[in-house]
Amino acid sequence: MSLEMLEREKRERLDVAVLEQPPAAYRSAPFWSWNDKLEPEELRRQIREMKRAGLGGFFMHARQGLSTPYMGEEFLRAVEACVEEAQALGMEAWCYDENGWPSGTADGVVPALGRDFQQKWLEGVPVAKEGLDEALRELGRDLDFLLS
């Protein structure tokens, strides 16, 4: 039951059974920090422990210290093992791509594709007309400008 809401009739009245035995979507799902070598059997064991503790799922979260190459074959096999174990236990498995911060950098793979794929921002810098030459010299570190 991947984040589906309960049927309308169960939402419109208090269903004590749902409170006593909530489905996976209504249980806690912690960030599971991956910061070591990923071994599928150990990951499966930890998932069984999460199930035993009453959790509804988990977020696989690659973090600093991960020695299994991020998004490599071994990493993806570990993810696959976790998804299979979660499905077998009626849990939800989520993959959280925050390795290397900020969000979505895929551990530096995306920015390494070149400037077109690197983070950009627009910064407003008010400069008086008489100070424009000096401001451009100070800001001229390989930046693109929009003057108005």
- Work out the average pLDDT over 71-77: 96
Tokens of residue 108, six digits: 């530096």
39 within domain boundaries: yes
57 within domain boundaries: yes
72 within domain boundaries: yes
In the chain, pLDDT over 90 holds for what percent of residues? 43
Q: pTM for the complete prediction?
A: 0.61
Domain, as residue range, for 39: 8-119
Q: In this structure, which amino acid lies at residue 95?
A: C
74 within domain boundaries: yes
**Whether pLDDT at 98 is above 50:** yes
Question: If 0-12 CB within 10 Å is exposed, 13-18 middle and 19+ buried, where does residue 118 land?
Answer: exposed
Closest CA to 58 of 36, 84, 35, 91: 91
83 within domain boundaries: yes
Beta strands in the chain (DSSP E): 31-34, 57-62, 92-96
CATH of the domain at 67: 3.30.750
- Counted domains in the chain: 1
**Whether pLDDT at 37 is above 60:** yes
147 within domain boundaries: no
- Work out the average pLDDT over 25-44: 95
Tokens of residue 96, six digits: 């959280």
69 within domain boundaries: yes
**Phi, psi dihedrals of residue 62, rounded to the nearest 5°:** -65, 130
